[in-house]
Homo-oligomer: A and B are copies of this chain.
Amino acid sequence: MLIRLAYDIQFDNPAEVAMVALLSVHPSRVDDLLEPDEMQIEPRIPLSSYIDSFGNRCTRFVAPAGPLRLSSTTLIRDTGNPDVVNPSAREAPVGDLPNEVLSYLLNSRYCEVDRFSNIAFEHFGHLNTGCSRVQYICNWVHSHVAFNYQHARPTKTALDVYTERVGVCRDFQHLAITFCRALNIPARYATGYLGDIGVPVVLPMDFSAWFEVWLDGRWWTFDARNNQPRIGRVLMATGRDASDVAMTTSFGRADLRSFFVVSEVEAANSLAASVVLPQTAQI
């Protein structure tokens, strides 16, 4: 399956501001790209790119005052299969985890693991360990938290989600991640493209968040928001939580004006003729 990916993000900045964007397809998917994945920037200012400590490709630049436009379109090959699920995947004892996985058990800005030790054990401590327990956590979050764009806020932590029971995409994942970590299951936050392939269209297209869990020696995709295997996730970045992988981080004021994302199946023979028809999305 071929998936057309595109974004068009516009700002109007009151003053010069340094920015970092995590808008590239993740290095682990670069071999699937059929077109270059290059961020276009207007006005044409110098960009530089680097890989952060989590393995994500970052692009940094200093935007001048005035309008700023970040955009890209690329094409990626995808299996067309839904997320792989292995119901028998096992949790590892902490003592057997690889060194580099241990930090995904710790506290982070939005995931107050320390405040959830008891709550997580009371909810999930009695369950069989492994994939089914993580799935149970997703089921719990999915059925106890309501999705509502009106209740997004940048300071909302897992504990806020647990008490308020309403949130957006990232809030669902933060709560599920925190539950996992409190049970000593490594979990990390993931962002990327997720179109509506194979599902009814519910919302305008947007970047999406999900999370990954370490079982049986590798990372597996889970998604407490959608809570069903989905086709066509294209990973952009992973980190401890949303703090690490914001689409754009501005070190000063940056006023978002519009935001379009595309992620849709492209007929194989229409490669050259593809037309991006962006849809409006709220962040």
- A→B interface (CB under 8 Å): 18, 20, 50, 52-53, 58, 60-62, 93-95, 99-100, 102-103, 105-109, 111-112, 114-116, 118-119, 144, 150-151, 153-155, 159, 162-165, 184, 243-244, 249, 251-252
Contacts and interface: CB of A to CB of B under 8 A. Distances in A.
Contact of A18 (B95, B107, B111, B112): B95
A163 B18 contact: no
Nearest to A99: B50
Copies of the chain in the assembly: 4
A251 B118 contact: no
Contacts of A108: 108-109, 243
A243 B113 CA distance: 10
A262 to B, nearest CB: 26
18 contacts: A18-B94, A18-B95, A20-B102, A53-B53, A58-B99, A60-B99, A62-B93, A106-B249, A109-B109, A109-B111, A112-B163, A114-B155, A116-B163, A118-B163, A118-B165, A150-B150, A153-B164, A184-B252
Contacts of A112: 109, 155, 163
Contacts of A109: 106-109, 111-112
Contacts of A114: 154-155
* Closest 9 pairs between A and B when the two form their complex, measured CB to CB: A18-B94, A62-B95, A115-B163, A107-B109, A50-B99, A94-B251, A18-B95, A107-B243, A53-B53
Contacts of A153: 151, 153, 164
A60 B102 contact: yes
Nearest to A111: B109
Contacts of A252: 94, 184
A18 to B, nearest CB: 4
Nearest to A115: B163
B99 A52 contact: yes
Nearest to A98: B50
